[in-house]
Structure 1
Amino acid sequence: MTEHSAPAEPTESRTVLSWSGGKDAAYVLYELERDDVAELLTTISENGRSSMHGVRRELYEKQAEAIGLPIRFVELPQECSNEEYESRMADVMAEYESLGIERVAFADLFLEDIREYRENQLSETTIDGSWPIWNRDTDEQIEAFLDAGFRATVVAVDGSLLDSSFPGRELDSRFLADLPDNIDPCGENGEFHTFVWDGPIFDSPVSVETGEVVTREVGDGEFHYCDLR
């Protein structure tokens, strides 16, 4: 099931941005021509939260409103198979084709297998993949993000790599200084995830408060999540 905040009709904008609500996606939007972006696209679990970030749907809605773009939610079962995920995304891509969308932009930085997977999923369509920040140095990328004036909260961390003191903190120079040497500063390997609530793409900040930190099993490991309200 998909839901979006704008009518499904042909659009002059030709790009959809794959949206996590986090720092890299926000920076990609910062670099793109805003008028060329038709909408943001994200997946949400049937429990009303992002399955990876744990962020509530209503916060994504407020984020999109502050940015000034519609957002489309692809709702997934809480225990979603890869086949079901691909089926639902294929339906969305078919609709995008009918609307004249030419490309989907992704905020991946260097994970070749993820890029290859995305390219394979798009290969059955007329839609191209776009990787605006691909292969950028991650130390330079995180500094560019902060220098641009973005602000973000760390919402989830891989418990095998970071302890429960990290979620709920603002992503800033002090957070980066506290990261162990083996952690990518952009968290590209899944070490941590963020929610961006202010910066140059926002008409006004998204008001958020940090709640409790909880630990949940994810696959064979565990993640620490900070609830945002």
Structure 2
Amino acid sequence: MKKRVALSWSGGKDCCMALDTLIQKGYEVTCLVTTVPKELGRTFGHGERMDMIRLQGEALSIPVHFIECTYETYTEQFVKAVRILKDQYKITGIAYGDLYLDEHRDWGEKTANAAGVDALYPLWSKKEEAVSLLESFVHSGYKAIVIRVREDVLDESWLGRLLDESFLQDVQMTTICPMGESGEYHTYVYDGPLFSKKIQLENAEYIQLETTKKLEFKSYLLID
């Protein structure tokens, strides 16, 4: 019997790689879990609209569960939600797409333990392996676009770039982590091997979000 797990989902390349890896290892990913702050109405991870995450869930044929929380109650609400999912889906664990930041793993393990499930880190690696991980994504068949950048390290010319060979080469010329592990850039995955439909993105515009700039699409739909 396959182990049933939930997956923390931001909509970007890391969680998509985690999903693919889990499935290849024989896990059943029963649901995608996304946190949404009451204060902003956008996802905590990437400042993405909930509709964009719902589209991914539909394209992947995996239900999405939004955890509504505040900055002050983030951990408390997360644990409470995972406990509910444990009963609802009979999951034994929750997986995260984190790569090498110990503080992120510590938080994930503590919250999973509090909810009575295992914490899984299918992509866990060393900082020096970030280039190799990005290369793996570029050659994976999944399609992702840069939708947010931290303005202190990357300018808006990076917005809208596809994660392809050109991106792989250019990002290595910068001082940032090639995978953007510290939030230097965020991505949105719109197609790939596990997608039954492609998400078509159109009419993009730039919007300002505190210390970051984001690419926002005015129209988007699923196509065969």
Superposition TM-score, scaled by structure 1 size = 0.85
- 1:72-111 superposed matches below 5 A: 72-76=65-69, 80-82=70-72, 84-99=73-88, 100-111=90-101
**1:140 matched residue in structure 2:** 132
Q: 3-state SS of the aligned residue for 1:143?
A: helix
How far apart are the structure 2 equivalents of 1:152 and 1:72? 22
Counterpart AA for 2:180: G
Query: Cα RMSD (Å) of the superposition?
Result: 1.9
**1:201 matched residue in structure 2:** 194
How far apart are the structure 2 equivalents of 1:186 and 1:45? 25
Q: Which moved more, 1:127-136 or 1:88-97?
A: 88-97
Q: Is 2:71 the counterpart of 1:71? A: no
Q: Is the 8 A contact 2:4 2:27 kept in 1?
A: no
Q: Is the 8 A contact 2:97 2:123 kept in 1?
A: yes
Q: Is the 8 A contact 1:39 1:72 kept in 2?
A: yes
Q: Is the 8 A contact 1:155 1:227 kept in 2?
A: yes
Q: Is 2:164 the counterpart of 1:172? A: yes
CA-to-aligned-CA distance 1:68-114 (integer Å, 9 cap, x gap) = 111101123xxx323x1122112112213323211001111100111
Q: 3-state SS of the aligned residue for 1:201?
A: coil
**2:153 matched residue in structure 1:** 161
Q: Is the 8 A contact 2:10 2:45 kept in 1?
A: no
**Deviation of residue 20 (structure 1)?**
0.8
Counterpart AA for 2:214: Y
**Gapped runs of 5+ residues in structure 2?**
219-224
CA-to-aligned-CA distance 1:22-60 (integer Å, 9 cap, x gap) = 001111111222761110101123454223422221111
Q: 3-state SS of the aligned residue for 2:207?
A: strand
Q: 3-state SS of the aligned residue for 2:36?
A: strand
CA-to-aligned-CA distance 1:130-158 (integer Å, 9 cap, x gap) = 01110051111111111111111111111
Q: Is the 8 A contact 1:150 1:196 kept in 2?
A: yes
**2:108 matched residue in structure 1:** 118
Q: 3-state SS of the aligned residue for 1:208?
A: strand
Select the residue among 168, 171, 191 that pairs with 2:184. 191
Select the residue among 18, 35, 40 that pairs with 1:43. 35
Superposition TM-score, scaled by structure 2 size = 0.86
Aligned residues: 210
**Deviation of residue 63 (structure 1)?**
0.8
- 1:12-27 superposed matches below 5 A: 14-27=4-17
Distance 1:131 1:150, change over 3 A: same
The 4+ residue runs of structure 1 with deviation greater than 6 A are none
The higher relative CO (CA closer than 8 Å, separation ≥ 6) is in 1
